[in-house]
Amino acid sequence: MARILILGGSGLLGRALQRRERAGDEVSFTHHRNPRAGSLDYDLRSTFKIPEGAWDVVICSMPLAKILMETDKPRERARDLLSSFGAAKAVLLSTDAVFSGRHGNYREDSPTDPITDYGRAQAALDEAFLVQCPAGLVVRTSFLFGGRAPHFDKRLGPLLAGAVSSAEQRWPENIFRSPTEVDFCAEAIWRCIEHGRRGVMNVCGERMSIRQFFTTALSLRGEFSPPPPYVETRPDVAIDTSLDPGIMETQLGIDRAMGWAWYRQTPAAGGIADVL
């Protein structure tokens, strides 16, 4: 049995990790704004050490780099947090924003070259994490989507609920990502832990344009009115930050297309109720 702590357990990925947790493990989780039965109150913006406990595994399931950017001393705060992991196996959620998007199909060993402040903060955090936690794992993912009612992702939730009209959107057909369904991502993280993975692992779905992603996701919910075709021309937008799924598929036995099977389990706006 492993004692596992999920930081950000009330968030989209934190809840998915709990849905797919392994039998026999003792899983604890934290909350910030949304308390739940059994959760530990933890505000990373004011407390830069993890809750005390003999944790075997600590999973950072929240956008840690974004949170640290809001603090007065992000590098020092990151160091304090990472040092508090102690001997626990640590897993850090990362993002494809660490890449410029000039090439696409980025591998785990591709050098980072971010073009945004967020991307630079995440790349610096990943590097510091792997130095301070040499047995740790950086899970690099892209465009997380999905969930369960009432906790659905911020991209599709408003569209599926009818709060926003798809016809009014601008979905670039020349910007490419690797959209990653949240339960798919959670399953991959658990398999990484089981396999003792360390270093960097891409956990990602199929490469597709932003327009193709939204069209596919909404088409699976019924008829919708697509917006006019749109081509992104801003120079500060990364063109193709798609991730290479090769190691994930061969070493974890997870096919990049599996995420859509989980997405189909949420047939309505907000999807199947989150009973956690």
Residue 210 covered by a domain: no
Residue 219 covered by a domain: no
Residue 194 covered by a domain: yes
- What pTM does this model have? 0.93
Residue 50 covered by a domain: yes
Q: What total number of domains does the chain contain?
A: 1
Which of 192, 202, 164, 182 is closest to 89 using CA atoms? Answer: 192
C-alpha 237/C-alpha 218 separation (Å) is 24
Per-residue pLDDT of the chain (276 residues; tens, 9 = 90+): 799 999 988 889 999 999 999 999 899 888 777 767 777 887 777 777 888 778 999 999 988 888 888 888 888 888 888 888 888 999 999 999 999 999 999 999 999 999 999 999 999 999 999 999 999 999 999 999 998 877 888 899 888 888 888 888 999 999 999 999 999 999 999 999 999 999 999 999 999 999 999 999 998 887 888 899 999 999 889 999 999 999 999 999 999 989 998 898 775 544 555 655
Q: What is the pLDDT of residue 136?
A: 96
Residue 265 covered by a domain: no
Which of 108, 125, 248 is closest to 185 using CA atoms? Answer: 248
C-alpha 158/C-alpha 48 separation (Å) is 33
Which of 206, 185, 164, 179 is closest to 252 using CA atoms? Answer: 185
Residue 95 covered by a domain: yes
Domain membership of residue 133 as a residue range: 3-147+178-205+243-256
Residue 117 covered by a domain: yes
Q: Report the CATH number that the domain containing residue 195 is assigned in CATH.
A: 3.40.50.720
Residue 261 covered by a domain: no
